[in-house]
Amino acid sequence: MNLPPEKNSQANLQDWLKAAAKSAPAGQVDNLNWITPDGITVKPLYTAQDVEKLDHVNTLPGFPPYVRGPQATMYAVRPWTIRQYAGFSTAQESNVFYRQALAAGGQGVSVAFDLATHRGYDSDHPRVTGDVGKAGVAIDSVEDMKILFDQIPLDKVSVSMTMNGAVLPVLAGYIVAAQEQGVRLDQLSGTIQNDILKEFMVRNTYIYPPEPSMRIIGDIIAFTAEHMPKFNSISISGYHMQEAGANQALELAFTLADGKEYVKTAMSKGLDVDAFAGRLSFFWAIGMNFYLEIAKMRAARLLWCRIMQGFGAQNPKSWMLRTHCQTSGWSLTEQDPYNNIVRTTVEAMAAVFGGTQSLHTNSFDEAIALPTEFSARIARNTQLIIQEETHITKVIDPWAGSYMMEKLTQDMADAAWKIIQEVEAMGGMTKAVDSGWAKLKIEAAAADKQARIDSGQDVIVGVNKYPLKTEDVVPSREIDNLKVREGQIEQLKRIKAQRNPAKVQAALDALTQAAKDQSGNLLALSVEAIRLRATVGEVSDALEKVFGRHHADTQKVTGVYAAAYDGGHNEGDTMAYWDALKADIAAFAQAQGRRPRVMIAKLGQDGHDRGAKVVATAFADLGFDVDIGPLFQTPAECARQAIENDVHAVGVSTLAAGHKTLVPAIIAELRAQGAQDIIVFVGGVIPRQDYDHLYACGVKGIYGPGTPIPVSARAVLTHIEQSVAAP
């Protein structure tokens, strides 16, 4: 519909929109308004009236409340730091990758550690056979750290480390490696993530329970405030919340609420808020919701300024929210993966328009496997092109004054603040996490999102709309997990043979005693133990003797996934498919005297459980009996639980590249225990070239990212029916 020239006044334009809405196609709701998953209403048209009461509109960059950016000149003087997150296999291989990236335009190092390291296990531990070197670099001691940063001058290159569970030995290893490189503590710059509360909600690479974990955070903030003034002691992370399913308002609210809890912890140790608050940083996910991501980042600065002033901070640097961003990994698709280059570019633009201080852009093949050098170069060059070819950096906060963006910023801030107040009423974020409430809120949002995709309400190009008839195999990086582990074990043997055992044990005993009697600074004591060549696992074990190891309760949401179908939001084939599948499951239950029973399992140290929880929710809504295995099971433990629970099938969810080791192991365990009739299916990030290997091992079905859950559920039901019918 075109607007006649004589209708081009603001009042008539509003009338025209109302008329247009009446003739909108089926499926348009609420007079063309878009109601986001956060509950925010986005209108098709904004005017000056929408912003006339907003206080932040007339502020400048570099001035409170910093909506337009924490620095007055922003990118006009210095663009954001290009900081590509990477790490795989051994320290030697990762070091080569880092040095190549720095030479090709990277501006900082961002380290990904393997899951064994995250969980405080040395590479020779029996629970990590499938995890060593797979989803990050294996680090067992300071000798690995020295190799990791070889020929990288730590007094000049800032280092970001995504580490939370084993944060003490890893940060200590970085400190000792720098000192043995000749670098002083006050020269070190970078960030340690050190954000444990979000681990209990989403990522699950915790070691100790919440209370002692908060003590560790306080000790790190205190140590770095005194000795490492250029180093960020914590990166309060919303990234993993959004990756686990949180919408933008939930990510924003829970992250800032975490930040409040960390400030309280540091102040409870007697630290003045202005002594450390200026070194707190944040970490956001940037997904495909373009407008809301920009608004989220602007709203975050507005709210953090309010929060820090509420703590009595006097230094304006304490009021500023500074952030790193990473484009979404979850938005990447296995199907038609070159589309992911476009997705990452759009997300990178949102991060830049939102005012990030550093950025990682994901590689297009990360829904398939670890990035190759080819895909990593495209990801890095995406940032270089935005910085150097587009001239976007010439203007500070180009969205300022936009009727839509300013109103959306305020709406996002209001939605998040409402959730923050709800958290405060519960007694703060630690209690919200302890109760399981926060985790369930995120899981409900994840189930709702997946249901909207599977039912066709949300479009994913190349997945549920415009799919390719045939998919080409994309080359992927392969890590020889067994070879890496063997090398790490040999290194551990050499270190232990060359060190002074009595001195190492004394340093570890001092850590245990400090944990027990609340004395000393745990990071300072870890530095001394690591300097004597104690290992990551030994330092972690010394504290576990007192703190214990945290075990999460396994819960699942119900009814959220089904609502997308049962609520009448979906029409035609998808609704008919859903109803027919439910009827067939009910018929199976009638014929067999019980419902089809599946166990959803995570094996090894892979704690990323979004996919597992969403599948469990959807299968339960369809009528399956669903058991969820505890995180971090070994194949033998998983097989034993499956047999005890008398399940028909085990579904293994894998996102950490351990499938070629762990999936054959669970099949072998089931056979060894006389349960070969229990079928095994697999979902997650699996290169297509690995499918034949898994099928040959006995896997009945493989369902990669983008597979509609009802389709996988139909296939699993068919396999169960065939298994039951077999003599």
Give the residue numbers annotated as catalytic, written as ranges.
Answer: 85, 239-240, 602, 606, 608
Residue 184 phi/psi, 5-degree rounding, is -80, 155
DSSP letters spanning 410-454: HHHHHHHHHHHHHHHHTTSHHHHHHTTHHHHHHHHHHHHHHHHHH
- 47: nearest Cα among 97, 16, 13, 88: 13
Reported as half-sphere exposure (CB side, CA atoms, 13 A), residue 148 has a value of 31
Tokens for 263, please give them.
């400030």
Total count of residues recorded for the chain = 727
Q: How far apart are CA 401 and CA 58, in angstroms?
A: 8
Q: How far apart are CA 305 and CA 32, in angstroms?
A: 34
Find out whether the peptide bond into 79 is cis, omega within 30 degrees of 0: no
Tokens for 185, please give them.
């503590």
Q: How far apart are CA 187 and CA 409, in angstroms?
A: 37
Residue 276, SS3 per DSSP = helix
Q: How far apart are CA 703 and CA 672, in angstroms?
A: 26
Place of tokens 């296995």: 334
CB-based burial, 112-147: b 16+ in 10 Å, e otherwise: bbbbbbbbbbbbbbeebbbbbbbbbbbbbbbbbbbb
DSSP 8-state code for residue 561: H
Q: How far apart are CA 217 and CA 236, in angstroms?
A: 11
**C-alpha torsion sign, points 538, 138, 259, 272:** positive
Residue 509, SS3 per DSSP = helix
Cross-strand pairs, 191? 160, 232
- 116: nearest Cα among 148, 90, 149: 90
Amino acid at position 77, single letter: V
How many C-beta atoms surround the C-beta of residue 385 within 10 A?
Answer: 12
Residue 647 phi/psi, 5-degree rounding, is -85, 155
Q: Are 108 and 190 in contact (CB under 8 A)?
A: yes
DSSP 8-state code for residue 199: I
DSSP 8-state code for residue 194: -
DSSP 8-state code for residue 8: -
Residue 675, SS3 per DSSP = coil
- 67: nearest Cα among 403, 327, 304, 237: 304
Q: How far apart are CA 293 and CA 620, in angstroms?
A: 32
Using only the alpha carbons of the chain, give its radius of gyration. 26
Q: How far apart are CA 440 and CA 443, in angstroms?
A: 5
Give the relative orientation of helices 248-268 and 290-310 as an angle to the nearest 10 degrees.
20
- 620: nearest Cα among 597, 593, 648, 588: 597
CB-based burial, 243-259: b 16+ in 10 Å, e otherwise: bbbbbbbbbbbbbbbbb
DSSP 8-state code for residue 113: B
**C-alpha torsion sign, points 201, 206, 212, 213:** negative
Q: How far apart are CA 88 and CA 324, in angstroms?
A: 21
